[in-house]
Amino acid sequence: MASPEIPPANEEELSTDIDDLHYSLQAEQENTQKKTFTSWVNSQLEKHSPSSAISDLYADVGKGHVLLDLLEVLSGQQLPREKGCNPFQCRSNIENALIFLKNRSIKLINIHVADIIEGNPSIVLGLIWTVILHFHIEELASTLGCGYSRSTLDSASAVGSSPTASPPAKRSGKVKERWKMSAKKALLLWAKEQCAMHGSISIADFKSSWRNGLAFLAIVHAMRPDLVDMEKAKGRSNKENLKDAFQIAEKELNIPRLLEPEDVDVISPDEKSIMTYVAQFLQHFKSLPVAEEEMQGKVKETLSWLNMQEEKLAELLTETKSAPFYEKFQEMLSFTETFHEEKKAFLPVLASKRKEEELSEDSLRMQEAWDRLTSQMNEWKAQLDQSLPQPLDSIESWLQEIEQQLAGDLPESQDHCKAIAALEDKMRSLQSLMGCFKERSETLQSFPNRDEMGTLLVPPQKLEEMKRRFSNIQLTDVNVLLEYHHMLCAAILEELTSKLNIWHIKYGTKESVESLLSDWNGFIEEKGFLTQLETAFRVCEEKKNQIINTSNFAKLFKMVELKISTCKEYIYNVNATLQKILSSWAIYMENICLLKAWLEETRKAHPKKIPTETLAAWNSRHGSLNEAGNFLIEASNEEVGSALSGELKKLNGKWAKLIKKTQFEMRLLRKQEEQMKLEAGSNRGVDSPAQAAPGQLVQPVGASEESLKMTLENAEVKNLPYLKHLSTFGLLEMFRA
């Protein structure tokens, strides 16, 4: 697990690196958000006087006046502003905009003027999303009435489904509690209601539920049935439906085109972008004019039709009570087909929503009749499914159970780890149910669909429907597994990134670094997080390859693979840094203790001469001490670094004093020995120094200053760090004294 060490970086560099890793994981969604938010902002700026448009969201919002124009359109108020675009005026205008938002009790978390001016992508997108959510989505959602009970939505969904499809599970809910929810859920509920009238279109979220384009088309159809052929749409590709929906919405309903098909038909569509676009449909829906008198007439007509359908259904149930399954199915199929065809004329009235206090008596009766009829139809379908001949009845029950599991909402938590925990429960249930997939599929395929008399037991279309459901379940199961393991990758990356923020810092004491390394070992080695990450990604690749069209996944998984590689590099570099810091602490603590003791012992002993070998050995320790100490000072936080610096400076002072004293005394001793030799030679008749040859002359005492300079220079050449900071002038002064 060896890896190249990296020198400790300063806090700003580390923070930037971690941020880069974190934000790069959201690159795809940021690009989609940028396009969507730019289009949305431009659609609002068109309403401003004078109108304007932006081309670069990040740069243009940073100018300040664009933000003020947008808020003026949305609030209907005139806001204070500075004219001009110099840096001071831009800053002032942005400050005015943020003050206005704060005065509206809008929370602005980590949104600062400097980041907006610099065009920080995540900050600008976060700001615009806050504006969209508050002024657009929340205000629109607040206008939605609480007209129908929660069961209305469930029943409507069931009515539009296949004649033999199972009704949804019953859910409890009170009318007045229906809209006590977030704007997101209110918007989702409205979208579900629009789609519930138009066949088996299920919406569980603002992500993958919209990929095939049918939900967009269903909403358009709810407002203008003449514009969309829903049956034709069910046989087309995702991109064809999305393109058709966006074009119709733009040309016929004047809804600004905020998205392109390629933005939605991806493995993980951007939730905020889809919410922003769907809110445009809600805005158009709320603007549809309906005369009160005309509406009341339509309500009476709809109520009459619903009562008539309820009577027909009651008669049919009585007539077919003892009939075989085949006959019951055909009668139900005929009834539901006629029902759906006639229902189209009443969709605008059935889809209309008003606050409860605004509803007339006829409207309330219409709602009750609708709820009652759809409940009866669901019950009839459930009873019909239960009466299938064996073993089809158990297969039908299994299909309903697993379909309900697959259709359940995915976790909405922004915390990937919490989302994973919720997904794991779902995965366990799915895996348990899917364990008998092959056996049940083979049983269905081999079912002998005739009795002893050769009479058909089950209509062929019912058997074909069940087979299609098996195929859909198999594909959906792969998608769920793919999403699970992709989310697992994201969760592990998120946790690893949070750990990097703890490990890759300015470090504290030796004990705290040991604790960090222990945490690293426990997290990476014992828990095996990197192994988990690699395993999850490998499964992602395997599941991706099981899907026929992988073009939408290739780019996403390439990006995830890159992030995993980058994260691994960070992880191992952090380990190398922690190891080096602990090694430096060991060297530092050992040598400083030994040097302190030796310096104190030497000071008390007053030796005239220190052997060269001894001095060289201690010089090596002194060099190692300073190298380790300087590394620790650079890598440590201010408190620890300051303490180390002070301790090292104090010891280096003692060391320098010893070296100066030792060098000085050794020089004097050598000169005394030379003088004694000269005097002895003179007594034996040797020439005096004045008569000696130039190469044999002994330098006078005054010349020893040059000798001392050479000594210091030689010390530097020999890379003796303890002399590098000494003042040559100071030593010379000592020598003269």
pLDDT digit string, tens, across residues 135-154: 888 888 876 643 333 333 33
Mind listing the pLDDT tens digit for each residue in 626-643? 999 999 999 899 899 999
Is the predicted pLDDT of residue 367 greater than 60, yes or no?
yes
- Among 345-359, 439-453, 621-635, top mean pLDDT goes to 621-635
199 versus 528: which is more confidently predicted? 528
pTM over 0.75: no
Burial of 685 (0-12, 13-18, 19+ CB in 10 A): exposed
Domain spans, the chain: 11-141, 151-261+270-390, 579-736
What integer is the mean pLDDT of 515-538?
Answer: 77
What is the distance between the alpha carbons of residues 516 and 503, in angstroms, rounded to a whole number?
6
What pLDDT does 150 receive? Answer: 36
660 falls in which pLDDT band (50, 70, 90)? confident
b/e code 7-41 from CB counts within 10 Å (16+ = b)? ebbeeeebeebbeebbeebeebbbebbbbbbbbbb
What is the distance between the alpha carbons of residues 205 and 213, in angstroms, rounded to a whole number?
14
The architecture (CATH level 2) of 11-141 comes to: Orthogonal Bundle (1.10)
What is the distance between the alpha carbons of residues 46 and 496, in angstroms, rounded to a whole number?
45
CB atoms within 10 A of CB 442: 10
309 falls in which pLDDT band (50, 70, 90)? very high
What pLDDT does 624 receive? Answer: 93
14 falls in which pLDDT band (50, 70, 90)? very low
Is the predicted pLDDT of residue 24 greater than 50, yes or no?
no
The token pair at 377 is 């139809």
What pLDDT does 145 receive? Answer: 46
Q: What proportions of the chain, in percent to the nearest 5, are helix, strand and coil? A: 75, 0, 25
DSSP 158: H
547 falls in which pLDDT band (50, 70, 90)? low
The token pair at 389 is 């001949």
What pLDDT does 667 receive? Answer: 67
What pLDDT does 213 receive? Answer: 92
Is the predicted pLDDT of residue 199 greater than 70, yes or no?
no
End-to-end CA distance of the chain: 61
Burial of 582 (0-12, 13-18, 19+ CB in 10 A): middle
What pLDDT does 449 receive? Answer: 84
What pLDDT does 273 receive? Answer: 94
CATH superfamily of 151-261+270-390: Calponin-like domain (1.10.418.10)
Question: What values do phi and psi take at 223, rounded to 5?
Answer: -90, -35
Is the predicted pLDDT of residue 355 greater than 50, yes or no?
yes
415 falls in which pLDDT band (50, 70, 90)? low
What pLDDT does 239 receive? Answer: 92
- Among 144-153, 368-377, 427-436, 610-619, top mean pLDDT goes to 368-377
DSSP 456: B
What pLDDT does 372 receive? Answer: 92
Q: Do domains 11-141 and 151-261+270-390 have the same CATH topology?
A: yes
What pLDDT does 649 receive? Answer: 93
Least confident of 28-37, 528-537, 613-622: 528-537
What pLDDT does 715 receive? Answer: 43
Is the predicted pLDDT of residue 697 greater than 60, yes or no?
no
Is the predicted pLDDT of residue 164 greater than 50, yes or no?
no
Pick from 243, 184, 193: nearest CA to 219:
193
Q: What is the mean pLDDT of the chain?
A: 76
For the CA atoms of 481, 483, 489, 495, what is the dihedral angle to 10 degrees? -120
What is the distance between the alpha carbons of residues 277 and 255, in angstroms, rounded to a whole number?
9
598 falls in which pLDDT band (50, 70, 90)? very high
What pLDDT does 411 receive? Answer: 53
What pLDDT does 479 receive? Answer: 61
Is the predicted pLDDT of residue 97 greater than 80, yes or no?
yes
What is the distance between the alpha carbons of residues 553 and 267, in angstroms, rounded to a whole number?
6
Dihedral sign for Cα atoms in the order 540, 541, 545, 548 = positive
The percent of residues above 70 in pLDDT, for the chain, comes to: 71
What is the distance between the alpha carbons of residues 57 and 208, in angstroms, rounded to a whole number?
26
What pLDDT does 713 receive? Answer: 46
Is the predicted pLDDT of residue 721 greater than 60, yes or no?
no
What pLDDT does 306 receive? Answer: 93
Is the predicted pLDDT of residue 86 greater than 80, yes or no?
no
Mind listing the pLDDT tens digit for each residue in 204-258? 889 888 999 999 999 999 888 889 888 888 888 999 999 999 999 999 999 999 9
Answer yes or no: are the C-beta atoms of 382 and 374 closer than 8 Å. no
Residue positions counted in the chain: 737
Is the predicted pLDDT of residue 447 greater than 60, yes or no?
yes
The percent of residues above 90 in pLDDT, for the chain, comes to: 21
